């Protein structure tokens, strides 16, 4: 079984500084920014192993929690399920990322 997963990271901002910070935090996951087709959100895609995704996303969640005006960060898996990173616990995030793809 291939442990690699691709997810979408949906940010509720188009602010270049905020998006750039998230891209830097996702750096080892090689984020790819979607073409700017929306005016209010930015979508990035990342791919890695579930373990690496969970570790990186939990680190980002902690950084965002310390920021006063941090963007909301939603995750979408291959099944188009969504999870709000700010509310996700480690076990929930692992299950979300490990879900069998339809």
Tens digit of pLDDT for each residue in 57-84?
Answer: 999 999 999 999 899 999 999 899 999 9
All structural domains of the chain with their residue ranges: 4-98
How confident is the model at residue 31, as a pLDDT?
A: 94
42-49: strand order across its sheet: 32-33, 42-49, 4-11, 73-76, 82-84
Residue 2 has a pLDDT of 57
Report the pLDDT value the prediction gives residue 12, as an integer from 0 to 100. 92
What's the pLDDT at 1? 44
Q: What is the CATH number of domain 4-98?
A: 3.30.70
* Stretches in the chain below the pLDDT threshold 50: 1
**Helices 16-25 + 50-65 axis angle, to 10:** 140
Which is nearest to 48 in space by CA: 25, 33, 63, 31? 31
């Amino acid at each position: 079984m291939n442990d690699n997963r691709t997810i979408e990271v949906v940010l509720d901002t188009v602010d270049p500084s905020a998006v750039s910070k998230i891209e830097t935090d996702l750096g080892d996951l090689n984020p790819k920014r979607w073409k700017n087709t929306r005016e209010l959100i930015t979508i990035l895609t990342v791919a890695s192993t579930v373990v690496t995704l969970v570790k990186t996303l939990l680190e980002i969640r902690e950084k965002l929690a310390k920021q006063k005006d941090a963007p909301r960060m939603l995750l979408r898996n291959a099944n188009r399920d969504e999870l709000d990173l700010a509310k996700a616990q480690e076990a929930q995030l692992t299950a979300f990322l490990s879900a069998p793809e339809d």
